Amino acid sequence: MNELMVICVIGIAVAMETKKLKLNLSDLKAKNEQLTLEKRDLQNQTEDLRTNMTKLTAEKMFFENQTKEMTTCPKDWIQFQESCYFFYNLNSPWKTWDQSRQFCQSNKSDLVVISSLEEQTFIKSKIKYYYDTLHGYWIGLQKVNNIWIWVDGSPDTLGYLNNPGSSDNFTCIIQNATLTQSWIQNRNGFLNRFICEIKALIF
């Protein structure tokens, strides 16, 4: 009789444990299904993000190409606003004002015409100090009949001359001077670097 009770108790215990294990297994299956659904959702979201990234990258490339097509400068020229600038930075040979202008004109441009403080700031930020304080970069400003005239025929309205009492008729910009007093008068035969300017091609 006691053995039968023991067997019954063991049977009940096994049945309860089996039921508990089945419930745990059922719970694990439910959680696994939930995780599978969440994984699928994350995969869908990742795919959407990839699609959006691909679209954004394509749009970025399109706008970059559009920008390049809208404004174009020759190779080795630097764009600022609607113009392109060439800074002649070779250590030799330096050139006279006339030779510098001929070089620019042979490249379908002319010596730079500076018409605003913004343009002056840009140009001065790009030039380099070299040799001594008198050497700079020729710009397209010359004295004609005692009037300072740019190569495009316009009169100078900025007056950034460093040595206005000089009798020399040609002008270069130097790096080692204040922003609004950085134009040095020199004779045509003085040898300097120079800056060319051309309008950017706009499509």
Which secondary structure element, helix H or strand E, spans residue 108, and what is its range?
none
What are 47's two structure tokens?
């795919």
Which residues does 85 contact at the CB level (< 8 Å), separation at least 6?
77, 78, 79, 112, 123, 126, 195, 196, 197
pLDDT tens-digit profile of 113-145?
A: 999 999 999 999 999 999 998 899 999 999 999
8 has pLDDT over 90: no
Tell me what the mean pLDDT of segment 160-189 comes to: 94
Give CA–CA dist 100/137, Å, rounded: 10
181 has pLDDT over 60: yes
Query: pLDDT exceeding 70 applies to what percent of the chain?
Result: 89
Per-residue confidence (pLDDT) for residue 18, from 0 to 100: 78
pTM: 0.66
Per-residue confidence (pLDDT) for residue 154, from 0 to 100: 97
**Tokens 């994350």, residue?**
42
Cβ–Cβ under 8 Å, residues 113 and 82:
no
pLDDT tens-digit profile of 62-116?
A: 655 555 555 689 999 999 999 999 999 999 899 999 999 999 999 999 999 999 9
158 has pLDDT over 60: yes
The SS3 call for residue 54 is helix
